[in-house]
Amino acid sequence: MVYEGILEGRFVNLRPVTKEDAEFILEIRNNPEISKFLPSLNATVDQQQSWIDKQRNDINSYYFIIEDKTKMRIGTTSVYNIIENHAEVGRFCSFGNSIQNSEAALMLDDFIFQKLGIDYLDIWVYKDNKPVLALNKGLGCVWEGEGEDEKGIPYLYGTLTKEGFDIKSQKIRNNLSKIKI
pLDDT of residue 86: 96
Say how far apart CA 25 and CA 46 lie, in whole Å. Answer: 12
SS3 3: coil
Say how far apart CA 65 and CA 126 lie, in whole Å. Answer: 22
Provide the whole-model pTM: 0.92
pLDDT of residue 42: 84
Domain assignments of the chain as residue spans, ordered by start: 7-177
Task: Give, in order, the Cα–Cα distances in Å from 167 to each of 76, 89, 164, 174.
Answer: 25, 19, 5, 12
Crossing angle (nearest 10°) for helices 130-138 and 98-110: 50
Crossing angle (nearest 10°) for helices 130-138 and 162-177: 100
pLDDT of residue 19: 96
The domain over range 7-177 is classified in CATH as 3.40.630.30: yes
Show the low-confidence residues of the chain (pLDDT under 70). 40
pLDDT of residue 35: 79
